A and B are shown apart, each in its own frame.
Chain A
Amino acid sequence: MSSSAIPYSTIRMEGASVAEFSWDIRSPLDRALVAGPYGAQGKAGVSLTEIHNFDLAQVMARRGKAGEMIAAAKARFSAAAPETPRAVSAADATLIWSGPDQFLVLSKGGKHSIEALAAGFAGSASLSDQSHARALISVSGDKARAMLAKLSSIDLHPSVFAVGAAAATSMDHTSVTLWRGKDRDGQAVFNLLVFATFAESLWHTILDSAAEYGVTIGHSDELA
C-alpha cells in the first residue's frame, strides 16, 4: 500500500465537467496535534512526537507454527522475533511483541509492508495490515515517566522497563502497545501505538496529563 498522497484528476468520459480529487493521507491526529509548546512555560518536561506514515503488520503464528514463524522472521529481519513482551530492533524494522505467538512489524517506506511480508510468512503465520489502524506517538523528556504514570498502570522504572521492554496494555481503558525505544540524548524514549479512532481523545488526555510539566509537540517522518 502506498503511503503518500496520490494526486489525481480525471476528466469525465461522457460529460464536459471536470472532477478533480486527490487522495490526501491524513493522520488521525492531524487536527488535534498543534506543533510547538503547550502547557507550563519554561523548559519542557515532556516531548511528544507523532510519527507519520508507517507500515505496521500484525504477524500471528498459525496453530503449532510458532517456531516456523520465528524462523521466517529470522530469515527476513536477521533478528530474533520477540517471544516475550519485548521490542526488537532489526536493521530496518522494529518487531514488537503483541501477544502470545504474535508480533507487530513496524517499518517505513513499504519495505516490510504486508504485501512484502506475505511470501516469507506463507503457511507459518497470518498477516493483518494495521498501518492505518494506529497512531504512533513517541514520548520523552525528564517528566515522561511522571506523565505516563497518569495514563499507564505499568511500572516504567528503568530497573523494570529497560530499553527494549514492551507491553500490550491499556490507557484510559483503551488498548495500547507501549515499548521503550533506544535512549535519545541520555533520556528514555517511550513509544505508544494507539488505536486510530481513539487517538484524538487519548491525545487530549495525554496533553492534560503533560501540561503541568510543559510540553513540546512535534511530528516526524522518522521512526524513533
Chain B
Amino acid sequence: MAGDQANRLTSGGLIDRSTALSFRFDGKNFLGFKGDTLASALVANGVRLVGRSFKYHRPRGILTAGSEEPNALVELRSGARREPNTKATTAELYEGLEAASQNRWPSLNFDVMSVNQLFAPIFVAGFYYKTFMWPAKFWEAIYEPAIRRAAGLGRASGVSDPDHYDKAWAHCDVVIAGSGPAGLAAALAAARSGARVILCEEDFVLGGRLLADGGTIDGLPAAEWVARAVAELEAMPDVRIMTRTSLFGVYDGGTYGAIERVNDHLPVPPEHQVRQRLWRIVAKRCVVAAGAIERPIVFAGNDTPGVMMASAMRSYINRYAAAPARRIALFTNNEDGWRTADTAIAAGLQVAAVIDARADVSPAHRSLASKGGFPVLHGSVSAVEGGKGGVRKISVSLTGGARAEVEADGLAVSGGWNPAVGLTSYHRGRPKWRDDIAAFVPDGAPPGMVAAGAANGAFGLGACLREGFEAGAAAARDAGRSGNIGSMPVADDAAFSLTPLWHVAGKCKAFVDQQHDVTASDVELAQREGFQSVEHLKRYTTLGMATDQGKTSNVAGLAIMAAVSGKSIPETGTTIYRPPYVPVAIGAFAGHHRDENFHATRLTPSHHWAAEQGAIFVDTGLWKRAQWYPRPGEKDWLESVTREVKAVRGGVGFCDVSTLGKIDVHGPDAGAFLDRVYINAFSSLAVGKARYGLMLREDGIVYDDGTTSRLAEDHYFLTTTTAKAGLVMQHLEFCRQVLFPELDVQLTSVSDQWAQFSIAGPKTRDLLKEIIDPAEDLSNDGFPFMGAREVKLRGGLKARLFRISFSGEMAFEISVPARYGEAMARNLMIAGKPFGVTPYGTEALGVMRIEKGHVAGPELNGTTTAGDLGLGKMMSTKKDFVGRVMAGREALTAPSRQVVVGIKPTDKARRLRSGAHIIPKDETPGPENDQGYVTSVCFSPVLDQWIGLGLVERGRERIGEIVLAHDPLRGEDYDVELCNPVFYDPDGGRQRG
C-alpha cells in the first residue's frame, strides 16, 4: 500500500493538498503535501518501519510527532549535505527530499546485525566496561571498529559542508520559548504592554498542541484564535516571531542560545543565504512555554513499529490528516489519553480497545466506548506481537489476573505528561516532584526566567492561557513596560486524572530509552550492581545520553530505579540538566569562522605589494607576514633566504616590521612610568634617542622587549614584540590604572598608524639619501647609533627615523603613516635599485638576529630571566620596577641556570635542529643528564654553516666546550660546540659604522 498516500485521510489537517511534494525514502519514491513532516508523509504512505535500533538492530517506527523523537532518525539529503540523525518528526517535507534509514545493513528489511538480538544477554548495562577491558591494545584495533560497525547511528558525510552558517545577536525585553497557548498568551500580554518581544517556536507553524488538539478559546475555534493572535503580534513592530527556532540554552546574565533552521526546509539554501543561524538573545525576562512531553509506559514490545504516543497519533490524524493505523488500541493511565480515542472515532478510524490502567473510567468515556463499539479493559499491556511489519496483536493483563488479547495495527500509549523542565533547570536547578500530576515541575529558574503553562505543570487549556498571559504581563512589567494588556484569553480546563504507571513487568524486552536501547532490566541490573545514584545509572546504562537526551525516557528510568531501590521518585532525584536542549550543529557554532575566515587576519601596510613580489606569507598570530621572496630558479626557501641575507650584509635590504606593537606613551610622568615597567631606566633617556628595554612579569620572568624612543619631553614611542603587542598594552594599562594611578601618563596604541620598515646593510645611507630630504643629516654625527627623530622626506611627507639595528648591520627603521606604507615599499625599491636593494622576509630577519645573538620568542619563552638572556646587567638597582624583587630570588639567580649561549655543530656540514637536548660529552643521553636545549637555529651564510642559540646550564662559563646534541625525535646525536652567541661582528662596529 506504500507510496500512494493510502493512509492519508480524505479531509482535514493543516496540509496544503494543492501542493504535492515528491520525496524519496530508502530509494523509493513517495508523495506528500506541503505542511507535512517527513514523518507525517511516511505515516500517510503507510511506512511504519523507519530504522533499526542502536544496539540490537530492532525494527523501529515513529514514536512521537516532535523533537523528543528517539527512533525515527534518518540521514537527510545526500552527498556533502548528508545530515545524520535527523528526526523525521521535525524534518519539514520539501520537493525532492531524500532520506535514508540508519543503522541497517544491507537494507532496512533485512538487517544482518539484528543477530545482535540473539546475543542480547551480553549487551546488558555496562557491557562495554565489562567485555572489552582487556587487553588494552585490543580496544583500538579490534573492539572499537567492530562495535562502531555494529552499533551507532547515522553516518557523517565525511566531506566539507558546502553551506554557510552564521551567528547573530538579538535583544529584547521578553523572550518566549514556545508558541502554544501559553506562549501566545504570554506574547500577547508582553507585546501589548509595549515590550520588545521575541517569540521562538521550533516548529514551522505557530500554535503548539493547539495544532493537534484544537479546543475553544474566547469562543473561537483554536485555529482561528491562533490566527488572530499571530496577526496581532505580527502587526507590532517590536515583536519578532521566529519559527523553526529552538531556544536551546540559558547563560548567565540573561543570555539565551537559539538555533534557527533558516533553510533546512529547502534542499539547498538560496544563494547568499545560510542554512542555519545561531542566535544569542539578550533578554531582560524569559517565559518558558515549552509545553510538556507525553511519556511512554514501559512494557514488553513497547518499541514495535505502530506503538506510538497517544498525543502523536492525534497530531498525525488532526494536523497532518494521516492515519498511523486503521484499528487503534489505546493504552492509558490518565484521562488525557482518551482524547486519542475521540480523535480516532472522529476521523473514521476504528478503536479496537482502550486499556486503562486506572480503576475508574468516566461515564462520558464509557458512553463513547459503547457508541464506538469498543471494549474498555482495566489492566495493562503485557506484550505486543508484531515485528518489522508493525503491531498485530496486543496481550493485556487485566486487573484481577485474567488475560485478554486485542487485534490492532496500532497502539497509542499515554503514561501522562512531563513538563519540559530543561531550560528552567540549566543553572543546576533541580525540578520538584508534584504528586497530583506525577511529574517533575520547575522549582525556580535562572534569574529572569519563569515557566508557564504545561511547562509549569498546568495541563488545562484555560490554565495554560492564564499562566502564559500572567507571566507575559509580569515579564513586561519587570522590564519596565506598562501598556494596557487588554483582556486575557479564556478557555475551559479539562480535568486531569492520572494513576502513575511506569513499567509493566514482563519477560521480554521492555525499552526505557529506545534511542540507546536501554531496557527496564538494564536499569534494574545497574541498581543491583550498586549504581545507586542517578548520575551513575545514567553513565553506566547510557540512559538519556543519546541525541534525544532522554526526553521520553529519563523519568521512566528514574521511576523504575526508584521502584527497585524502594525509594520514592523525588528521593531518587534527577540528573543535572545541561544545554543544548536540541542538538546544534558545530557549523552553527562556528558560523562564519571557518576555513580562511577561521579567525580575523591582519595585513601589513605593504602586504599587497609583497604579494605582487611573490612573497610567501607565514601566519604569525593573526598576521600574514612575508616570510621570504622567492626568485625564479631558486630551488628552495633556504636558497632564497640565504640570498636575502647576503644582499643585506653586502648591500642593502628592507623588511616590513609594522607588526611590532607600537604604543604612544604621553604625559609628564611618562618617563617615571617607563622606569617602573622596564628593568632599565628611561627617564634618563635624552629626547631624540632610542633605547632597548626589557620588561619583567611581577614574578621576575622576562615578559617582553623592544626599543623605546623619546620623541619629546613628555612623549615616548614604545615598541613591543609582534606576539605580545596586545598583551603588553593590557599590561601597561594595568600598571597605569591599577598599580600606579598616581602617575600622569596616557597610553594609546599606534600599531596601525605607522608603517614601519627596517632598512639594513652597508648601503642603507645611500638608499635613504634618495628618499629623505637632503637637508636631513644622516651622518654618524648628525644621526648617531640609537638616534630617533622626525625627518622630512623628499616631497614633504614627515616620517620618523630610528637608528636601530636587529641585523647587526648599519640600519635604520623608518615609519610613515600607514597609508603611505605601500608607496614606501615601492619607493624603496625604486630608490634602492642602483644599490641592489632586496626585500627580505621574516626568515632572513631571523637568520640575522641569530647571527647577532639577539633573543626572540624562543628565548623569551616565559621561563627565562634577564640574567638567562645575558641581559642581567641592564637591571637597574636604583629604582623599583615590576618584577624587581622576585627576580632576585635564589632560584632565579642561581649560577646553575640555563642561559643563552651560541651553539654550532663541530661538523660544519651538519644541520643543527632546534629542540635538540644538550648532554655533557660522555654522559648517557637522558633526562638525568639534560642540561638544556637548542632554542633557535638557522643556516648562517656568513659562517657557511648551521648555527643556533640555546639555553644551557652555566652556558656562558662553558664557551668552547664540546657537548652532545641529542635529538631523540629525529634519532640524531652529534657533537656541537658551545660558543659566544654573537656569531657576527661581535664588536658591533658594523651597526655603528
Give the CA-CA distance A12 to B833 in the complex, in Å. 12
Contact B667 A132, beta carbon cutoff 8 Å: no
Give the CA-CA distance A1 to B815 in the complex, in Å. 14
Does B214 count as interface, using CB distance less than 8 angstroms?
no
Taking CB as reference atom, which chain A residue is nearest B741?
Answer: A63
Q: Please report which residues of chain A, range 143-198, place their CB below 8 angstroms from some CB of chain B when the two chains form the complex.
A: 146, 149-150, 152-155, 157, 160, 172-174, 195-198
A205 CB contacts on chain B under 8 angstroms = 592, 597, 600
B715 CB contacts on chain A under 8 angstroms = 126
Return the CB mask of A116-160 against B: 1 if under 8 Å, else 0.
000000000011111111100000000000100110111101001
Taking CB as reference atom, which chain A residue is nearest B831?
Answer: A19
Does A201 count as interface, using CB distance less than 8 angstroms?
yes
CB-CB under 8 A for A198 and B600, given A40-B272, A150-B167: yes
Contact A211 B819, beta carbon cutoff 8 Å: no
Does B268 count as interface, using CB distance less than 8 angstroms?
no
Contact of A126 among B601, B746, B819, B821 (CB under 8 A): B746
Contact B752 A133, beta carbon cutoff 8 Å: yes
Give the CA-CA distance A63 to B818 in the complex, in Å. 30
Most chain A CB atoms below 10 A, which of B601, B622, B819 = B819
Give the CA-CA distance A146 to B826 in the complex, in Å. 41
In the complex, identify which listed stretch (A25-33, A79-87, A89-97) lies at the interface while the others stay far away: A25-33
A200 CB contacts on chain B under 8 angstroms = 601, 603
**Cross-chain pairs A/B with CB under 8 angstroms, 23 sampled:** A6-B796, A10-B770, A19-B833, A23-B820, A23-B827, A26-B821, A60-B666, A60-B748, A126-B714, A128-B666, A128-B748, A129-B753, A131-B817, A132-B818, A134-B752, A150-B166, A153-B169, A153-B282, A195-B752, A196-B752, A196-B819, A201-B601, A204-B597
Q: Please report which residues of chain A, range 1-36, place their CB below 8 angstroms from some CB of chain B when the two chains form the complex.
A: 1-2, 6-8, 10, 12, 15, 17, 19-28, 30-31
Contact B750 A12, beta carbon cutoff 8 Å: no
A8 CB contacts on chain B under 8 angstroms = 794-795
A224 CB contacts on chain B under 8 angstroms = none
Contact A17 B748, beta carbon cutoff 8 Å: no
Give the CA-CA distance A25 to B605 in the complex, in Å. 11
Give the CA-CA distance A10 to B794 in the complex, in Å. 8
Contact of A1 among B164, B658, B745, B817 (CB under 8 A): B817
Does A208 count as interface, using CB distance less than 8 angstroms?
yes
Contact A132 B797, beta carbon cutoff 8 Å: no
Contact A172 B823, beta carbon cutoff 8 Å: no
Give the CA-CA distance A211 to B827 in the complex, in Å. 38
Contact B664 A128, beta carbon cutoff 8 Å: yes
Does B830 count as interface, using CB distance less than 8 angstroms?
yes
Shortest CB-to-CB span from A179 to chain B, Å, is 18
Taking CB as reference atom, which chain B residue is nearest A172?
Answer: B600
Band of interface residues on B? 35 or more
Does A107 count as interface, using CB distance less than 8 angstroms?
no
Contact A58 B171, beta carbon cutoff 8 Å: no
Contact of A63 among B171, B744, B753 (CB under 8 A): B744
B664 CB contacts on chain A under 8 angstroms = 126, 128
Does A202 count as interface, using CB distance less than 8 angstroms?
yes
Contact A130 B750, beta carbon cutoff 8 Å: yes
Contact B819 A28, beta carbon cutoff 8 Å: yes
Does A62 count as interface, using CB distance less than 8 angstroms?
yes
Contact of B750 among A7, A31, A129, A172 (CB under 8 A): A129
Shortest CB-to-CB span from A183 to chain B, Å, is 17
Q: Please report which residues of chain B, range 666-680, place their CB below 8 angstroms from some CB of chain A when the two chains form the complex.
A: 666-669
Return the CB mask of B825-843 against A: 1 if under 8 Å, else 0.
0110011011000000000
Band of interface residues on A? 35 or more
Most chain B CB atoms below 10 A, which of A134, A150, A205 = A150
Give the CA-CA distance A142 to B143 in the complex, in Å. 58
A64 CB contacts on chain B under 8 angstroms = 744
Give the CA-CA distance A40 to B601 in the complex, in Å. 26
Contact of B744 among A25, A39, A62 (CB under 8 A): A62
Taking CB as reference atom, which chain B residue is nearest A205?
Answer: B592
Does B608 count as interface, using CB distance less than 8 angstroms?
yes
Contact of A132 among B744, B754, B796 (CB under 8 A): B754
Contact A17 B795, beta carbon cutoff 8 Å: no
Does B196 count as interface, using CB distance less than 8 angstroms?
yes
Contact B272 A212, beta carbon cutoff 8 Å: yes
Contact B817 A157, beta carbon cutoff 8 Å: no
Contact A153 B796, beta carbon cutoff 8 Å: no
Shortest CB-to-CB span from A87 to chain B, Å, is 19
Shortest CB-to-CB span from B671 to chain A, Å, is 14
Return the CB mask of B169-193 against A: 1 if under 8 Å, else 0.
1110000000000000000000000
Return the CB mask of B265-284 against A: 1 if under 8 Å, else 0.
00000011110000010100
How many Cβ-Cβ contacts under 8 Å join chain A to chain B?
A: 172
Does B380 count as interface, using CB distance less than 8 angstroms?
no
Contact of B168 among A19, A58, A150, A154 (CB under 8 A): A150
Listed from nearest, the 6 A-B pairs whose CB atoms lie closest are: A126-B666, A8-B795, A63-B744, A133-B753, A155-B171, A133-B752
Shortest CB-to-CB span from B752 to chain A, Å, is 4
> What is the interface of chain B, defined by CB distance below 8 A to chain A?
164, 166-171, 196, 238, 271-274, 280, 282, 592, 597, 599-605, 608, 622-623, 658, 664, 666-669, 714-715, 743-746, 748-754, 770, 793-798, 817-823, 826-827, 830-831, 833-834
CB-CB under 8 A for A132 and B795, given A40-B272, A201-B603: no
Contact of A174 among B166, B600, B603 (CB under 8 A): B600
Shortest CB-to-CB span from A50 to chain B, Å, is 13
Shortest CB-to-CB span from A124 to chain B, Å, is 11
Contact B753 A131, beta carbon cutoff 8 Å: yes
Taking CB as reference atom, which chain A residue is nearest B737?
Answer: A100
Give the CA-CA distance A211 to B356 in the complex, in Å. 58
Give the CA-CA distance A163 to B14 in the complex, in Å. 46
Contact A25 B819, beta carbon cutoff 8 Å: yes
Contact B603 A28, beta carbon cutoff 8 Å: yes
Give the CA-CA distance A60 to B663 in the complex, in Å. 14
Shortest CB-to-CB span from B669 to chain A, Å, is 8
Instruction: Given A15-B834, A62-B668, A157-B196, output 13 extra A-B contacts at Cβ < 8 Å.
Output: A1-B817, A12-B770, A22-B823, A128-B664, A129-B753, A132-B754, A132-B819, A133-B752, A150-B166, A174-B600, A196-B819, A197-B751, A209-B592
Contact A132 B748, beta carbon cutoff 8 Å: no
Taking CB as reference atom, which chain B residue is nearest A15?
Answer: B834
B271 CB contacts on chain A under 8 angstroms = 40
Contact A20 B592, beta carbon cutoff 8 Å: no
A126 CB contacts on chain B under 8 angstroms = 664, 666-667, 714-715, 746, 748
Q: Please report which residues of chain A, range 69-109, place their CB below 8 angstroms from some CB of chain B when the two chains form the complex.
A: none
Shortest CB-to-CB span from B152 to chain A, Å, is 35
A10 CB contacts on chain B under 8 angstroms = 770, 794
Contact of B753 among A132, A149, A152, A173 (CB under 8 A): A132
Taking CB as reference atom, which chain B residue is nearest A208?
Answer: B592
B600 CB contacts on chain A under 8 angstroms = 172-174, 198, 201-202, 205
Contact of B746 among A30, A60, A204 (CB under 8 A): A60
Contact B592 A58, beta carbon cutoff 8 Å: no
A155 CB contacts on chain B under 8 angstroms = 171, 282
Contact B795 A23, beta carbon cutoff 8 Å: yes
Contact B592 A2, beta carbon cutoff 8 Å: no
Shortest CB-to-CB span from A21 to chain B, Å, is 4
A28 CB contacts on chain B under 8 angstroms = 603, 605, 818-819
Shortest CB-to-CB span from B856 to chain A, Å, is 21
Contact B750 A128, beta carbon cutoff 8 Å: yes
Give the CA-CA distance A15 to B833 in the complex, in Å. 12
Contact A132 B752, beta carbon cutoff 8 Å: yes
Contact of A21 among B167, B592, B826 (CB under 8 A): B826
Contact B171 A198, beta carbon cutoff 8 Å: no
Contact A6 B797, beta carbon cutoff 8 Å: yes
Taking CB as reference atom, which chain B residue is nearest A156?
Answer: B171
Give the CA-CA distance A200 to B167 in the complex, in Å. 20
Give the CA-CA distance A130 to B822 in the complex, in Å. 18
B669 CB contacts on chain A under 8 angstroms = 63
Shortest CB-to-CB span from B825 to chain A, Å, is 11
